[in-house]
A and B are shown apart, each in its own frame.
Chain A
Amino acid sequence: MNQQIQNEGFSLLRLCADLEDFLINGRSKNTYLKETDEFLNYIKSSLAAVNNHIRKMIASDIKDELIKSKLRELGEIRKVISWLYIFTKQTIDSDSLSIPFSLATFINSLTRKLQNSEEVSLVVLSTGNLNYYKLHLLDFRNLADSLSTCIENYPLLKKDLGILMFPYCAVREVLMNCSLFHEMGHYFYENSKIGIKIAARIENDFFNFINKTQMVAKLNLPLVTGKDLLVYVCQLLRTWADEIFADIFAIRILGPAFHLAYLEIEQLLPINIGENRSFSNTHPADYFRFNMHAKWLNEGGWDNILEEHVPEVYEKLKECRKLQINHKDFRISCKPPLENNLDLEKELHEWMLEEFEEVIIEIEKQIHELFTNFEKPFDDFVNNDKLVREYLTHGVIPSTVYNDNGEKFTPCPTTILNSGFFFYLNEMQRLLRMIVTKKEINEIDKRMHWEKRLNEWLGKAIEDWQILGEKH
């Protein structure tokens, strides 16, 4: 038996055992959403498979010629365990009381409805990062495929699984957590396989482009340069497509509350419109995103509402709507593998932005298809917005609202979020005037306290809507 393999193997086994203990102890103390519980089972099965595999490896007689590759395998397994290590902690910490429960439940029910499947599992986990994101499970899925070929019984990731992350301090937040609808969009992008379709399209168009321009030949670089360039182009365009899809998705399913949550997090709205026009290696330019937000908010019927409630946001969106790729209003801040040839770089980047416009046509088509026959949030909003905001002004949770004729309505969670956001931005003073507090509480603390309460009321209203829905 090889000593190095034994040392590395036992070290990994101890790590697996510690994680398994942590998992069992954590689960015994908390309760979890069904989706989170299923994910904990997945982690448990992964650890068990890795544990068995390493035990077998330690016990077997490995030939000298294979020792190096077995050590590499253990090294890569260590990286897998290091991820499981992070996931285990994040998942154990995300019990029902430590996540935005009502929003997580609502997001899951919406996804099930949109996908027309009960198998959907969107796991909402808290993260130590002050950001929202979705785990890119396509890579983990491919990795699990690779692992299952070398580790017996290594479980494949469930097809309809998505993992959405929110900053742990935002557990009582509702308005800022509207960003989760964008992360939900990433799940749909990944699950619809549109990414692969787009990659095939980009590859084809890029082939025609470099043939036309003779780009690889002009550089006179060795073979493999074409593939380098293809990877560069594909990775960027696919990443941007994923982001724009998620943005449009969030606007279509929720409405302006997503755009407002985005602004809240990014603290944008700079004075100079010349800024934020750069596409980076992770995201399209902010103003390009706002351009798409504006287009889809308009399509959703929100223009007049925005103009009335948040005129400065509306004006900024109108400005962004005027910006266009073919007017060269945007640029790419990344460096292609073109040996610093600035002319070719410019030519390539111009083509990439034009290609991205074509990709967006495909994305918009997919979104239209996905939302065929799916209600628009605007319809419920126009019926219930005023009543929701009136209830909030009086500190009443707007789960069930009555109009002047005594008619009863149960506003949709999307209305609760949109109206709640407008109330938060414009009408907090109305609420604060109604509340008499002890003199020693200063105005800042008072406002902060009632902003928190507002978020809690909105969360409760979303929960009530689901309970009322179950009752009927």
Chain B
Amino acid sequence: MGIEEMVGAMRLTFFCNKCVEIFYRFRIGQEAKELKQICEMATLAFKSLKWPQERDVNVTIGQSAALFNTNEEIESFKIMMATRTGTPEKYLNEIIDWLSIVQMEEKPMEERKSNAEKLQGFFDTLGDHSFYASRECQRDADFVLYRG
């Protein structure tokens, strides 16, 4: 494991933390101006996990906009998936649906808030997994800073 894996997992943790806060603020009726942006970024990230089926997400590995760039980040998602019944595809589609409903102003607020709650819980758990992944990387950090 190298610096790329560690930073990748850390960035995913920061992203999850941000999502938790924004969905929480939305639920309690506070202004959440970054909601749209964060939902779009998350949708893109989860679609990218369906590669090659959803190859058109237009974010290349290594770009600053990309999440799930390393196996550590993907592993964090897989660990979550393992606790669920049903196929990964179904699970991914479910999350993408939640993200879409939260943004729909025409939907009843209760429904949007209920989806925000699910997303808050989801990102809280995913954040835990990526946090543990980055901690594991740090433990193997003897050569973490190397790029010879």
Contacts and interface: CB of A to CB of B under 8 A. Distances in A.
Contact of B146 (A63, A83, A133, A147): A133
Contacts of B49: 223-224, 227
B7 A140 contact: yes
Interface in B38-85: 48-53, 55, 60-64, 68-71, 74, 77-78, 81
A146 B147 contact: no
Interface residues of B, number: 53
Contact of A72 (B3, B17, B55): B17
B148 interface: yes
B87 A224 contact: no
B13 A76 contact: yes
Nearest to B63: A196
Interface stretch (B97-105, B107-115, B131-139): B131-139
Contact of B147 (A65, A69, A135, A196): A135
A259 interface: no
A300 interface: no
Interface stretch (A229-237, A356-364, A374-382, A461-469): A229-237
Contacts of A200: 60
Interface in A311-343: 337
Nearest to A129: B146
Contacts of B10: 76, 79-80, 143, 146
Main secondary structure of the interface of A (DSSP, over half): helix
Residue with the greatest number of chain A CB neighbours at <10 A, chosen from B15, B50, B81, B145: B145
B64 A76 contact: no
Interface residues of A, number: 59
Contacts of B16: 69, 72
A106 interface: no
A85 to B, nearest CB: 12
Contacts of A210: 52
A222 B21 contact: no
B74 A86 contact: no
B74 A82 contact: no
Given A66-B20, A69-B127, A231 B71 contact: yes
B60 A203 contact: yes
27 contacts: A65-B24, A69-B124, A70-B17, A72-B16, A72-B131, A75-B135, A86-B145, A133-B146, A136-B3, A139-B7, A142-B7, A142-B11, A143-B7, A145-B64, A146-B11, A150-B18, A196-B62, A203-B61, A207-B52, A207-B55, A224-B50, A224-B77, A226-B51, A226-B52, A227-B50, A227-B74, A230-B61
